[in-house]
Structure 1
Amino acid sequence: MVMPEFACISDYVTWYAEKTPSAEACVFNGSRVTYAQLELQVERLACAYIAAGVSKGDRVAVLATTSPDFLVSFLAVARIGAIWVGLNAKYKRDELLYVVSDCKPKILLARTRIGERQYDEDIKHILSEVSGIEKVVLLDDANALSGAVSYRDFLHSGENILHTHVKAPSSGGGDKKPCLIVYTSGSTGKPKGALLHQQGIIRFCLEQNRIWYVNPHRVINFLPINHVGCVVDLSLPAVLAGGTQILCEKFDPVKMLELVEREKVTLWASVPSTFIMQLGLPDFDKYDLASVQLIAWGGAAMPEETVRRLVEVCPRMSTNYAMTETLVTTVVEPTDNVEALTRTVGHPFPGVELRLVDDRGNDVDKGEPGELLVRSVYNMLGYWNRPEASKEAFLGDGWFRTGDVLAENRDGSFSVVGRLKEMYKSGGYNVYPKEVEAAIETCPGIVEAAVVSVPDPKWQEVGIAYVTLRQSCDWNEEGLRSFCSERLANYKMPKKFLCLPEMPLLPIGKVDKVALKKMAVLEYGATKGGAEK
């Protein structure tokens, strides 16, 4: 079926509610929502937003888990042309305050309890510090916060609009109208809100569904709602495909495999760390994963050993290379070619233009490393409330500076060399941690590697390598050092190799290099001398 390109993301819910009303849109804790039911829920909430005075460009912030609450709230915001902001339930109070203060929402939808944590005092603190929040809607306990309204009462407030309009106006959405702010990780400073738009998201989802075709489209989503991977990479492609998304509040390796088996998941997609944890289960082979038609990952490179094991589960595999600000840059189209999946990040995604430039802005020769510039309809509009940062991020004619260093291969594919911000200088040489990590991960028994730099009085900076091992392997630092010395120039060799039971992870599942860097500084010390190179 050739999918139409609608003006508004939520128009796809309406379309499927008419064409396949009884098809499952989402599953959560055993509860199933059809497209007809989802359409009604989205329309009721959109009308409630309108009744509350939310209009085009206004922000709505949502503190929730990866549940139907998040999905319905986003689709309703998109329908009326407003802008949605997801708040990570793992945020500490100051982190919540920072994001809410920056985006200044008119409406805050929130859970007051998630797991063992109570949020009522956090919400009170936010309300005392941030002006302009006109209404707090509680998704669970209506009595937990004075002045807040229950979700049921909030929906009731929009009934007059629901009864007088066949459908809430969606003319405010579509085209390059903003609909989503995603705050970057902030590993190099305070997070910035990338402002994404409807047209870019719609075209990305349609194209990704063509490349990552599965039938039926059934995918698990457990990523946090503040992340682009949750909203744009997993949830919305499922909606645009008329597929089913199985929503989970948190990742659990055993439960995820059980869900793949029970829900007949066809698209097994996530970040590499979660695949590594699942493959590490002693009884992994007992799960029936025959329904899987495609395995896909993003966010980080997958170790070769992990890819080889996954190929045995499903020989149709894919990965892409992307960042929040661009949605996507390259893709390895479905294949069983392990080298392509581990040594490259594929070819430009359809509709994406790429350039590699040196520090003077000149295009580099094929095979030479250069900073990646990206231009496409998928690019963000800019950083929310950051005109100077937006200006610095874009060159003329819409080229976005990624800060990533890539090289173009002979066949036109691209390989990641590293990040400009992660690159360090050791003895005057540029060292890219990504290259060192890739070499370490070819050592038998190594599951994952992460390299960070620390100051050194002699060499300016040196690398500290952290690794995790397969369960059956013993730690042998000298053996690993010897292995790497045959594959890396001496200036690229890490000063220390340290073994961890597991890597510290960010909420999205990526390795937390900020935490590793703090550990490395304590372990190595900024005043120690280095070894001769």
Structure 2
Amino acid sequence: MKQTVRRYKDSLALYNVERDRRLTFGQLHELTNRVCHILEGKFGLKEGDRYATLLENDNMALLHFWMTKGKATALWLGMRDSLQEHLHQIDWVGARVVFIEERLLEQYYDQLRSRGVVMVAMDKPWQSMEGVYDFWDLVPQASSQDPGDEFIYEDVRKHMAIMRFTGGTTGQPKCTMYSISNVFSAGLNPIHFIELYPFEQPKALLCTPITHASGAVMLPAYFKGGKVITLNRVDIDLMCQTVAQDRTDLIYVVPTVLYRMLDMGLPEKYDLSSLRTIRYGASPISPAKLEELLAQFGPVFVQGYASTECWPPATILGRGEHGLDNEEQRQILKSVGSPVPGVEVMICDDEGNETPPHQEGEIWIRGGNTIAGYYNDPEQTQANFTENGFWKSGDIGYRDEAGRIYLVDRKKDMIITGGFNVYAQEVENALNAHPAVQNSAVVGVPDEYWGEMVCGVVLLKEGASATSDELIAFCKENLTRYKVPKRIDFVEELPLSAVGKLLRRKVRKQYWDDSQRNIH
């Protein structure tokens, strides 16, 4: 990273649109050096200690991959998660410092102070509070010199760079651990690099959370001397205005955003001629809508298939594979592309044997992008990882003769709605807490806009009554917004196994029978 700064020192590295804040490579390097010294010198965080970030894109962009130069481990919290989820994650890893948006202080202060957690507000707090510091007051007090720390590149047991949480199949979150090798595979993989930015000093605009999928395109831009432009929300008109004004080369969006873009006549309203790459992912895309998008925006699309456990992408479907000239090309649009160099993707049967082409099995992944396991969770690590380093994705798919991977179904009870993961058990727990509900099954059902819609199938207690609106409102009090069911169906019985276990897949099948595949 220091070498990149030497090459591009005076070029712009970051532009935060809402704040109209611009930082050159040299300024970003100096700022993050100072933050590393703040963490160690001011707050005493050394190797093995953790801090957390609870930040919108503009502030998170200051403390992103560039902070891996420091000793302390970063826990990236998702802004869309709830207070209780954040507290659980902070407790799980023992974070001692939280970088937080000033507007969240009132809501979070008492809970964090009771844990002895120090807060660093990214804007000046409206009043003086014990244990709360102003980020921009701290920065000039710290040294701008490079921390000079050295780490074991691949071994997460020696040094953990970043931690993120994902949901578990039981509804309990699992904490993923990233080594330096995992992190930098985002910027070093040649195919990912070339497909994203086949040119020098690109401009990339990111409006979805950079703590999630879109963050994987930041290091490739950085290493090519590019400028990362951030928005804090998905505002399609503002995004297009920024593309036109800044002559942006790349945007990262999830399929639900692409579907909205399709209906807005954007090429007629804005000058989008600078766009050379529209990178999409985080959830499967409708092949029919992808054909419409290609017709409207041209051959600028690149897809990647990844997960929290194997992030950045394990496969890439490049712009040259997004064709409409014949039926063979249209079939390829249904795939998620081919494995990137250095990453192995196998389709395995229940015994772990690789299947031949076109035979379905579970997708297993191993490579520099794949984590070694879950922090402080040996049971889930053993269940989801093999001894030789493969992660069992829980996705069902097959490969063609050329090695392209096609998704068919999901083995685990996970719903991907609008690019966000929702685990059925967590939503069922919320529904089942309602006094009128005897039992429920939560499944993802096909939806043109969301990809999958969270649907609750509810069995009421005998003699009890409840409406769909009532149950949805109840869930809103206990779940993060994107996890709340958008649809409630009432049934007189739910399918159970001989031992009384809910057969969620049978419930799901009723909604997917008319679909060409069981995952959108």
TM range, normalised to the smaller chain? 0.7 to 0.9
What SS does the aligned partner of 2:91 have? Answer: helix
User: Which of 240, 262, 266 matches 1:257?
Assistant: 240
Q: Who is 2:206 aligned against?
A: 221
Q: Who is 2:94 aligned against?
A: 104
Q: CA deviation at 1:384?
A: 1.6
User: Which of 8, 16, 23 matches 2:4?
Assistant: 16
Size of the aligned set, in residue pairs, is 434
Summarize the Cα distance change of 1:189–1:262 in structure 2 as closer, same or farther, 3 Å threshold.
same
User: Does 2:80 correspond to 1:94?
Assistant: no
Query: What is the one-letter code of the residue matched to 1:219?
Result: A
Q: CA deviation at 1:337?
A: 1.9
Conserved 8 A contact 1:374-1:400 = yes
C-alpha distance in structure 1 between counterparts of 2:50 and 2:210, whole Å:
16
Show CA shifts across 1:283-340 (max 9, x none).
5522111101122211122223332233242313221111110122221122232525
Q: Who is 1:428 aligned against?
A: none
Summarize the Cα distance change of 1:123–1:384 in structure 2 as closer, same or farther, 3 Å threshold.
farther
C-alpha distance in structure 1 between counterparts of 2:333 and 2:366, whole Å:
25
Conserved 8 A contact 2:39-2:45 = yes
Conserved 8 A contact 1:88-1:225 = no
C-alpha distance in structure 2 between counterparts of 1:468 and 1:316, whole Å:
22
Q: Who is 1:494 aligned against?
A: none
Q: Who is 1:467 aligned against?
A: 447
Q: Who is 2:150 aligned against?
A: 171
Conserved 8 A contact 2:373-2:381 = yes
- After superposition, where does 1:205-354 map in structure 2 within 5 Å? 205-207=187-189, 208-215=192-199, 216-227=201-212, 229-231=213-215, 233-282=216-265, 285-312=268-295, 313-327=297-311, 328-335=313-320, 336-338=322-324, 339=330, 342-354=333-345
Summarize the Cα distance change of 1:462–1:259 in structure 2 as closer, same or farther, 3 Å threshold.
closer
What SS does the aligned partner of 2:368 have? Answer: coil
C-alpha distance in structure 1 between counterparts of 2:141 and 2:492, whole Å:
60
C-alpha distance in structure 2 between counterparts of 1:464 and 1:237, whole Å:
34
Summarize the Cα distance change of 1:34–1:409 in structure 2 as closer, same or farther, 3 Å threshold.
same
Show CA shifts across 1:108-152 (max 9, x none).
111221xxxx43231321321x35x3x322211243532322213
Summarize the Cα distance change of 1:282–1:21 in structure 2 as closer, same or farther, 3 Å threshold.
same
Summarize the Cα distance change of 1:211–1:225 in structure 2 as closer, same or farther, 3 Å threshold.
closer
Conserved 8 A contact 1:80-1:173 = no
C-alpha distance in structure 2 between counterparts of 1:168 and 1:388, whole Å:
36
Taking structure 1 as the reference length, the TM-score comes to: 0.74
- After superposition, where does 1:62-101 map in structure 2 within 5 Å? 62-67=53-58, 69-75=59-65, 77-101=67-91
Conserved 8 A contact 2:206-2:231 = yes
Conserved 8 A contact 1:358-1:364 = yes
Q: Who is 1:200 aligned against?
A: 182
Conserved 8 A contact 2:197-2:221 = no
C-alpha distance in structure 2 between counterparts of 1:403 and 1:78, whole Å:
30
Q: CA deviation at 1:157?
A: 4.3
C-alpha distance in structure 2 between counterparts of 1:206 and 1:340, whole Å:
30
Q: CA deviation at 1:195?
A: 0.7
- Report the identity percentage: 21
Q: Who is 1:48 aligned against?
A: 38
C-alpha distance in structure 2 between counterparts of 1:528 and 1:401, whole Å:
29
Q: Who is 1:497 aligned against?
A: none
Taking structure 2 as the reference length, the TM-score comes to: 0.76
Summarize the Cα distance change of 1:140–1:526 in structure 2 as closer, same or farther, 3 Å threshold.
farther
C-alpha distance in structure 2 between counterparts of 1:357 and 1:379, whole Å:
17
What SS does the aligned partner of 2:293 have? Answer: helix
Query: What is the one-letter code of the residue matched to 2:79?
Result: A
Conserved 8 A contact 1:64-1:225 = no
C-alpha distance in structure 2 between counterparts of 1:79 and 1:239, whole Å:
15
User: Does 2:364 correspond to 1:364?
Assistant: no
C-alpha distance in structure 2 between counterparts of 1:157 and 1:461, whole Å:
55
C-alpha distance in structure 2 between counterparts of 1:261 and 1:186, whole Å:
41
Report the aligned-residue RMSD: 3.3
Q: Who is 2:460 aligned against?
A: none
C-alpha distance in structure 2 between counterparts of 1:466 and 1:408, whole Å:
23
User: Which of 28, 33, 55 matches 2:16?
Assistant: 28
Summarize the Cα distance change of 1:263–1:187 in structure 2 as closer, same or farther, 3 Å threshold.
farther
User: Does 2:168 correspond to 1:183?
Assistant: no
Conserved 8 A contact 2:206-2:251 = no
Show CA shifts across 1:201-238 (max 9, x none).
213322221232332411111222442x143x132222
Summarize the Cα distance change of 1:464–1:156 in structure 2 as closer, same or farther, 3 Å threshold.
closer
User: Which of 152, 167, 172 matches 2:136?
Assistant: 152
Summarize the Cα distance change of 1:370–1:308 in structure 2 as closer, same or farther, 3 Å threshold.
same
C-alpha distance in structure 2 between counterparts of 1:56 and 1:462, whole Å:
42
User: Does 2:491 correspond to 1:525?
Assistant: yes
**5+ residue gaps in structure 2?**
325-329, 429-439, 451-475, 496-506, 514-520
Summarize the Cα distance change of 1:96–1:263 in structure 2 as closer, same or farther, 3 Å threshold.
same
Summarize the Cα distance change of 1:526–1:61 in structure 2 as closer, same or farther, 3 Å threshold.
farther
C-alpha distance in structure 2 between counterparts of 1:40 and 1:140, whole Å:
19
